[in-house]
Amino acid sequence: MPSFMPSVPVDVSRLLIPNAEQVCAWLIENAGLKTTDLERAQRLQQESEGTELLGLLTRLGLVSEFELARAWAALLQAPLL
């Protein structure tokens, strides 16, 4: 068995998956996302049915996909690959 595989199955119901609010807070604190830009994206999200906030932030150019990946890695305490 490869060394990176856990020896015990992971109970995914116990994983703490960050929500969009936590990711946005990290982006504000660590990646230069401005509160005013986040508020603008949230308004646009409300106007656009089915639009996901984090994807909207990248489409608007407010954060890069790399910064979003850094946020997920940091919040999940996982390496950035």
Please provide residue 66's backbone torsions phi and psi, each rounded to the nearest 5 degrees: -65, -45
pTM of model > 0.95: no
Domain boundaries along the sequence of the chain: 30-81
Give residue 81's pLDDT band: very low, low, confident or very high (50, 70, 90): confident
Give residue 12's pLDDT band: very low, low, confident or very high (50, 70, 90): low
CA–CA distances in Å: residue 41 to residues 19, 49, 79, 81: 16, 13, 28, 27
Helix (H, G, I), strand (E, B) or coil at 39: helix
| Token couple for 19 | 């929500």
DSSP structural state of residue 61 = T
- Tens of pLDDT, residue by residue over 28-67, are 999 999 999 999 999 999 999 889 999 999 999 999 999 9
